[in-house]
Chain A
Amino acid sequence: MLLWLLIGPGVLVMLGENDGPSMISYAQTGASYGIGFFLPFIVLTFIMAYIVQEMTVRLGAVTKLGHAELIYMRFGRFWGFFAMADLVLGNLLTLVTEFIAVRAGLGFFGVPPALAVLGAFLVVGGVVLSRRYWTWERITLGFAVFNLIFIPVAIMAHPVSTQVVRAFFSWSPLPGGINAQFVLLIMADIGATVTPWMLFFQQSAVVDKGLTAADIGHGRLDTAVGAVVAAVAAVATVLAATPLFVHHIAASNFQGADFAQALAPFVGNVGATLFAVGIFEAGLVAAITISSSSAYAFGEVMGRPHSLNNSLREGWPFYAALLAAAAIAAALVLIPNAPLVYIVLVVNVIATLSMPPAIVFLLLMVNDRQIMGKHANSPIENFFGISVTVLLVLAGLFYGVTSIFPHLLPT
């Protein structure tokens, strides 16, 4: 009962990050590599996500300050500006991809793009204007449960269980070895799980929910439950798309609805329909959480009231920022001939590349004993946190070097 009451930010942030581009990345992974290396790798990325997000729980619960306002308070406006610039750019691009996912998912059912995007925007507005964090959180959690819809689709794809088990133990096979597509999917799958908006969102949501230092244990459990559920949904998406790999169907330019249509012969119309619903849901939930993340950061930095518990009169700048972020992204999706495909392709890569500075700010704050006291990082927590940072930097450098010198990779 207590867990049900205290669960929320952790589950929301993890399922929120299983968003439109993430599910498309996982589907691309399944279609390109089948059952093998990427299954345990995706689980590893969720372990990394737990390590990072657990620190935001402690920061929020102990300081009762959002991520953006704490960065501004402790590092000043100069460094705070950079952190915000990363967040604003990343959030806007990601929000655009969420509306692309909504459009693609509903497109499977013949819903016109403008109607799909407008409908999603109205849902985001309707949920936000519930004007109480608790109500907002429960409605969004209700939507987020549909992320599990990929599990029945995976079952309908009839994956060979022995291959799945072997992949988790051996991290193989890796068809084609290390090539440009492998590097891109590595970056996309990391960016599908560990991104800057998650830090800002969960810390602010922990504060808005009212968790205190006494609730850190429940916050950890909430985050762990979210990571496990989201990892299961992610792995299920890879498995659901595996028939495309087995039957050699090229999926490199697929969007959400294309995957659903291509999978229909293998998972049936019901499976294809569930897949399209899953893509739509992933985009919708992330549109709600990411626009909230932008609005929290805006309110924190501008010193304005920034809570979903504020009345419309009191918190109008917060609500206006939230709805404006969603409206701008929704409008961009409807611009004729906008390069939406390129945005979807690079948004997770940008998330991975902009993550190291965000984690360093996080590590500096969570090691700050003046604000964290006994809840500051332990040596083992620092080891894991620094390991994640180093891994992300190395992945980024590897991506950069192999992009500039593609001949270093086998074709």
Chain B
Amino acid sequence: MAEDKPPPGPADGEIWAREALEPDQIAAGKHRYGLAPLSRGKIVLLWALRVYVLLMIALIVYQICQAMRGPR
């Protein structure tokens, strides 16, 4: 299939990519969403995972202390 223009080279492609992509990078075009409703089940889940993370971090801190004390 004949084409009028040669395929774009790397430099042309870069210019094309910038022109094609950068208009979508404008922050002013972003939609602002409101708060999502959180059901009781979701809140319980988020709290349970929060407690899980805190317990695990406490465990890791304990292990680091133990490891730093080490066998003497």
Quick one: given A86-B53, A360-B45, are A209 and B21 in contact (CB under 8 Å)? yes
Query: Which parts of A207-261 form the interface with B (CB within 8 Å)?
Result: 207-212
Q: Determine the chain A residues whose CB is within 8 A of the CB of B17 once the complex forms.
A: 5-6, 134
Q: Are B36 and A357 in contact (CB under 8 A)?
A: no
Q: Determine the chain B residues whose CB is within 8 A of the CB of A371 once the complex forms.
A: 33
Is B1 interfacial (CB-CB < 8 Å)? Answer: no
Q: Are B25 and A342 in contact (CB under 8 A)?
A: no
Against A, the Cβ 8 Å flags (1 = close, 0 = not) of B39-72 are 0001001100110110111011001100110000
How distant is B22 from chain A, measured CB to nearest CB, in Å?
6
How far, in angstroms, from A350 to B60 measured CA to CA in the complex?
8
Q: Determine the chain A residues whose CB is within 8 A of the CB of B56 once the complex forms.
A: 353-354, 396, 399-400
Q: Are A403 and B22 in contact (CB under 8 A)?
A: no
Choose among A134, A207, A209, A393 the residue that contacts B52 (Cβ–Cβ < 8 A): A393
Q: Are A210 and B25 in contact (CB under 8 A)?
A: yes
Q: Are A404 and B33 in contact (CB under 8 A)?
A: no
Q: Are B57 and A353 in contact (CB under 8 A)?
A: yes
Q: Determine the chain A residues whose CB is within 8 A of the CB of B60 once the complex forms.
A: 346, 349-350, 353
26 contacts across the A-B interface (CB closer than 8 A):
A1-B7, A64-B29, A64-B30, A64-B31, A65-B30, A73-B35, A74-B35, A76-B35, A133-B25, A208-B25, A212-B24, A307-B25, A342-B68, A346-B64, A353-B53, A353-B56, A354-B56, A357-B46, A357-B49, A364-B42, A368-B36, A370-B33, A371-B33, A393-B52, A400-B56, A403-B59
Q: Are A342 and B67 in contact (CB under 8 A)?
A: yes
Choose among B7, B8, B24, B53 the residue that contacts A354 (Cβ–Cβ < 8 A): B53
Query: Which parts of A337-389 form the interface with B (CB within 8 Å)?
Result: 339, 342, 345-346, 349-350, 353-354, 356-357, 360, 364, 368, 370-371
A side interface size, CB within 8 A: 47
Q: Determine the chain B residues whose CB is within 8 A of the CB of A364 once the complex forms.
A: 36, 42
How far, in angstroms, from A197 to B68 measured CA to CA in the complex?
27
Q: Are A74 and B33 in contact (CB under 8 A)?
A: yes
Q: Determine the chain A residues whose CB is within 8 A of the CB of B49 once the complex forms.
A: 356-357, 360
Q: Which residue of A lies closest to B67 (CB)?
A: A342
Report which B residues bind A (CB closer than 8 A): 7-8, 13-14, 16-18, 20-25, 27, 29-36, 38, 42, 45-46, 49-50, 52-53, 55-57, 59-60, 63-64, 67-68
How far, in angstroms, from A248 to B69 measured CA to CA in the complex?
28
Quick one: given A360-B49, A364-B42, are A346 and B63 in contact (CB under 8 Å)? yes
How far, in angstroms, from A349 to B27 measured CA to CA in the complex?
36
Q: Are A75 and B30 in contact (CB under 8 A)?
A: no
Q: Are A396 and B52 in contact (CB under 8 A)?
A: yes
How distant is A337 from chain B, measured CB to nearest CB, in Å?
11
Q: Which residue of B lies closest to A212 (CB)?
A: B24
How distant is B34 from chain A, measured CB to nearest CB, in Å?
8
Q: Which residue of A lies closest to B66 (CB)?
A: A403
Q: Are B13 and A342 in contact (CB under 8 A)?
A: no
Is A309 interfacial (CB-CB < 8 Å)? Answer: yes
Q: Are B68 and A309 in contact (CB under 8 A)?
A: no
Quick one: given A134-B17, A356-B52, A400-B59, are A74 and B36 in contact (CB under 8 Å)? yes
Q: Which residue of A lies closest to B63 (CB)?
A: A403
Closest 6 A/B residue pairs (Cβ): A210-B21, A210-B24, A357-B49, A353-B56, A74-B36, A5-B17
Q: Are A64 and B64 in contact (CB under 8 A)?
A: no
How far, in angstroms, from A76 to B36 measured CA to CA in the complex?
9
How far, in angstroms, from A349 to B60 measured CA to CA in the complex?
9
Is A172 interfacial (CB-CB < 8 Å)? Answer: no
How distant is A89 from chain B, measured CB to nearest CB, in Å?
8
How far, in angstroms, from A323 to B12 measured CA to CA in the complex?
32
Q: Determine the chain A residues whose CB is within 8 A of the CB of B67 once the complex forms.
A: 342, 345
Q: Which residue of A lies closest to B10 (CB)?
A: A4
How far, in angstroms, from A4 to B53 measured CA to CA in the complex?
39
How distant is B50 from chain A, measured CB to nearest CB, in Å?
6
Is A305 interfacial (CB-CB < 8 Å)? Answer: yes
Most buried by A among B7, B45, B49: B49
Q: Are B42 and A4 in contact (CB under 8 A)?
A: no
Q: Determine the chain B residues whose CB is within 8 A of the CB of A65 once the complex forms.
A: 30-31, 33
Known: A70-B33, A350-B57, A360-B46. 6 other contacts (CB 8 A): A207-B25, A307-B27, A342-B67, A346-B63, A357-B53, A364-B42
How distant is B43 from chain A, measured CB to nearest CB, in Å?
9
How far, in angstroms, from A393 to B49 measured CA to CA in the complex?
9
Q: Are B53 and A73 in contact (CB under 8 A)?
A: no
